[in-house]
Amino acid sequence: MSQLQSRREVYGKTLLELGVENKDIVVLDADLSGINCTDKFAARYPERFFNMGIAEQNLMGVAAGLATVGKIPFVSTFACFASMRACELIRTSIAYPKLNVKIVATYGGLCGGKNGPTHLAIEDIAIMRAIPNMIVIEPADIIETELVIRAIAKYKGPVYIRLGRDK
């Protein structure tokens, strides 16, 4: 692994590897697969990739449904949208019933770049930590990112992973 990789790139690479190992892994994205680095999974496993568009509540609802039939959804969107736009769906449809959904939120913290303040996520950790049954993790670097993504693929229950925009 090169230190020039971002945590997002390692997330995408690890998902691709996990896709070979576990056919129940599915990936859902909010029209951000290039930025979230899930595009390679989409190309290799189109039948297990769902671009839900800019509809984060629907993204979480579909993930919850897939989890109820034994799939392991990895859901990707920006941290500000996962934590605030889809908060009620995450709480009620994923966390309360302890569904096996992995929310991997990118652009966490003060890293919205040219997107401006609407894309900054400084309250996402507080919001997700307040939700019962939700595990919250922010890997420090690319090594931890790979280890965490592999670990949560085996863990049964809801998880929120926060990744920055780092390079």
> Catalytic residue numbers?
56
Q: Is the Cα dihedral 112, 28, 39, 105 positive or negative?
A: positive
DSSP state of 80: H
Rounded distance between C-alpha atoms, residue 79 and residue 122, angstroms: 9
CA atoms within 13 A on the CB side of 59: 29
Contact predicate 60/97, CB 8 Å: no
